[in-house]
Structure 1
Amino acid sequence: TPGDPVTTDHVLYDLTDGIATITLNRPDRRNAMSVPMIEGLGELLAGADADPAVRVLVLTGAGRAFCAGGDVQQFDADGGEGGGATEVDPAGVAEQLRHQELTVGRLHAFSKPTVAALPGAAAGAGLGLALAADLRIGTPRTVVATAFAGVALSGDFGVAWLLERLVGPARARELMLLNPRLDGQACHDLGLLNRMVPEEELEQATRDLARQLADGPALALSHIKRNLREAPRHTLSESMAAEVPRHKECGLTGDHVEAARAFVEKRRPVFR
């Protein structure tokens, strides 16, 4: 369970000094999603969010990929994602929705800062996972593709919704309809990567970024996330009304008092 290092077949978990790391672990299949991976990821996300020892979450992939999305080799072996059926199965729709909420849904709603570290490809549903994190870090060999149109699918795991909010409607349409492969530099230029570092520096740079977040004011960062998540569906007045109680709550914390004192004393604050 989160709080102690755990290993499952397709997902790894570690918690060290407030930094929880979840590693998608099917490197031989470019970390393509499997049911055990989805179920395990959902359980780990829920546990880490509830664990007060977790201050930041890092999601990454084993080997040279982040996550290739759906397992297209398995689709082919099954006669397509629909398994050769001629009508949509309502039970299959319900199960797919559950899987999406366990993964992208839980990651997007995670109450603490999240970082996706992309050592290589993030495609299809795997791109959805990367986009659901607060920040993304990669290298020149990071590759991003929506991938759905390339296998005659329309897309799932929230990719269209997340893309439109991150890069705008024009770019989102281009990426979904034309399915280009974007390298790390193109992703950084477009804003899909917040940071790009040399391949050999990714692990350390991810740790440094996670450490910065883990050492930050936890309640303030959590409330900042809520403000940002709610903003698209609120008017300005509604957003301001929601912000003020959170802002005032932060003002009661020792972290705020420490930060104000550190500002006056011209030093770095130490948050508790």
Structure 2
Amino acid sequence: MSELLIEDDAGVRIITLNRPDRLNALTGSIMASLADACADAARDASVGCVVVTGAGRGFCAGGDLKEGGADKAVVPPNAEAGSRTEQSFARLRGFMETSRLLHEMPKPTIAMVNGPVAGAGIGIAGACDLRFASKSATFLTAFDRIGAGGDFGSTWFWTKILGTGVARELFFLGEKLSAEEAFAKGIYTRLFEEADLRPETMQAARRLADGPRMGYRYMKANLNNAEDWAFEAALDAEALNMGLSTGATALIWREKKKREEQGGG
């Protein structure tokens, strides 16, 4: 059974973590496949929106400690691979490209949170532009339970999304939130009944995939710039990106109209 499922639907790339018996906990093999899948989605011009979700009753329970997580392939120190710490860093940082790609790829990304999410899973969810959740979608940082500092961009994303005060509350106290509590804090963008989660998410994803892709590209760039840039630099980027996006969109619409007039659809 494949640990990762890839599906295309009307310009939407759906990436599904497929270890339902382990609440889609992450092993080295699935983390490597997930990073590759996100890279493929980022560069595939046919993809206009990316949805990440989990199979079964959970989104992602974080790293699978029983399977060794990111450190399973770490070998004794040697001249080629370096120390165990160096090896562990290199492997985990490579896996964490998933979060960078979901956050930075020039197309909208949605976490379809169908159940519990914890540990590294909250980093993956936080990396996405939108988080649509079912009412069974609990939220737990969980890093305090294993004496860990956090990974997959989790501390960065949730500080940016929620503010440092709420992020510190979530990480230090480590309390599990219900879907309603997480929604009230702004963790989840929208909350749905379980039966409605996938159709509502796909409706939004198809709308995004069918929308002005160049507009979304530069819109996302502006929003990402706003996280760190000084105001004047952000204004400069907005002014430039406004011309780039509207110019590209106008060209696409002219080409589309021309094809329609020629009977090309």
Structure 1 residue 244: Cα displacement: 1.1
Question: For 1:65, what is the secondary structure of its paired residue?
Answer: coil
Does residue 52 (structure 1) correspond to residue 45 (structure 2)? The answer is yes
Alignment of 1:193-232 (within 5 A): 193-232=188-227
Kindly tell me: are residues 180 and 255 of structure 1, through their superposed partners in 2, closer, same or farther at Cα, counting changes over 3 Å? farther
Counterpart contact for 1:9–1:36, Cα < 8 Å? no
Which of 89, 92, 97 lines up with 1:96 in the alignment? 92
Counterpart Cα distance in 2 of 1:147 and 1:72: 12
Kindly tell me: are residues 82 and 177 of structure 1, through their superposed partners in 2, closer, same or farther at Cα, counting changes over 3 Å? farther
Kindly tell me: are residues 81 and 145 of structure 1, through their superposed partners in 2, closer, same or farther at Cα, counting changes over 3 Å? farther
Question: For 2:150, what is the secondary structure of its paired residue?
Answer: coil
Counterpart Cα distance in 2 of 1:254 and 1:90: 45
Could you say which residue in structure 1 is the equivalent of 2:149? 154
Could you say which residue in structure 1 is the equivalent of 2:259? none
Counterpart contact for 2:135–2:192, Cα < 8 Å? yes
Kindly tell me: are residues 227 and 144 of structure 1, through their superposed partners in 2, closer, same or farther at Cα, counting changes over 3 Å? same
Question: For 2:50, what is the secondary structure of its paired residue?
Answer: strand
Counterpart Cα distance in 2 of 1:228 and 1:207: 23
Question: For 1:165, what is the secondary structure of its paired residue?
Answer: helix
Structure 1 residue 13: Cα displacement: 0.3
Structure 1 residue 81: Cα displacement: 11
Structure 1 residue 111: Cα displacement: 1.1
Could you say which residue in structure 2 is the equivalent of 1:262? none
Question: For 1:233, what is the secondary structure of its paired residue?
Answer: coil
Structure 1 stretches of at least 4 aligned residues deviating more than 6 Å after TM superposition: 80-83
Could you say which residue in structure 1 is the equivalent of 2:184? 189
Q: CA offsets per residue over residues 112-135 of structure 1, 9 Å max, x none?
A: 000000110110001100000000
Which of 112, 117, 127 lines up with 2:112 in the alignment? 117
Could you say which residue in structure 2 is the equivalent of 1:33? 26
Kindly tell me: are residues 11 and 65 of structure 1, through their superposed partners in 2, closer, same or farther at Cα, counting changes over 3 Å? same
Aligned residue pairs, count: 248
Q: Which blocks of at least 5 consecutive residues in structure 2 are unaligned?
A: 78-82, 254-264
Counterpart Cα distance in 2 of 1:168 and 1:190: 11
Aligned Cα RMSD in Å?
Answer: 2.5
Counterpart Cα distance in 2 of 1:58 and 1:254: 24
Counterpart contact for 1:250–1:256, Cα < 8 Å? no
Counterpart contact for 2:212–2:249, Cα < 8 Å? no
Structure 1 residue 165: Cα displacement: 0.5
Kindly tell me: are residues 179 and 50 of structure 1, through their superposed partners in 2, closer, same or farther at Cα, counting changes over 3 Å? same
Does residue 9 (structure 1) correspond to residue 2 (structure 2)? The answer is yes
Kindly tell me: are residues 48 and 257 of structure 1, through their superposed partners in 2, closer, same or farther at Cα, counting changes over 3 Å? closer
Amino acid of the structure 1 residue aligned with 2:42:
D
Structure 1 residue 105: Cα displacement: 1.5
Amino acid of the structure 2 residue aligned with 1:138:
A
Amino acid of the structure 2 residue aligned with 1:115:
I
Amino acid of the structure 2 residue aligned with 1:104:
S
Counterpart contact for 1:217–1:255, Cα < 8 Å? no
Does residue 43 (structure 1) correspond to residue 36 (structure 2)? The answer is yes
Q: CA offsets per residue over residues 171-218 of structure 1, 9 Å max, x none?
A: 000000000111111111111111001111111111111122112210
Counterpart Cα distance in 2 of 1:198 and 1:158: 28
Counterpart Cα distance in 2 of 1:206 and 1:246: 28
Structure 1 residue 23: Cα displacement: 0.2
Question: For 2:227, what is the secondary structure of its paired residue?
Answer: helix
Amino acid of the structure 2 residue aligned with 1:99:
F
Counterpart Cα distance in 1 of 2:90 and 2:248: 43
Counterpart Cα distance in 2 of 1:81 and 1:46: 22
Does residue 65 (structure 1) correspond to residue 69 (structure 2)? The answer is no
Question: For 2:151, what is the secondary structure of its paired residue?
Answer: coil
Amino acid of the structure 1 residue aligned with 2:244:
E
Amino acid of the structure 2 residue aligned with 1:184:
A
**TM-score, L = length of structure 1:** 0.85
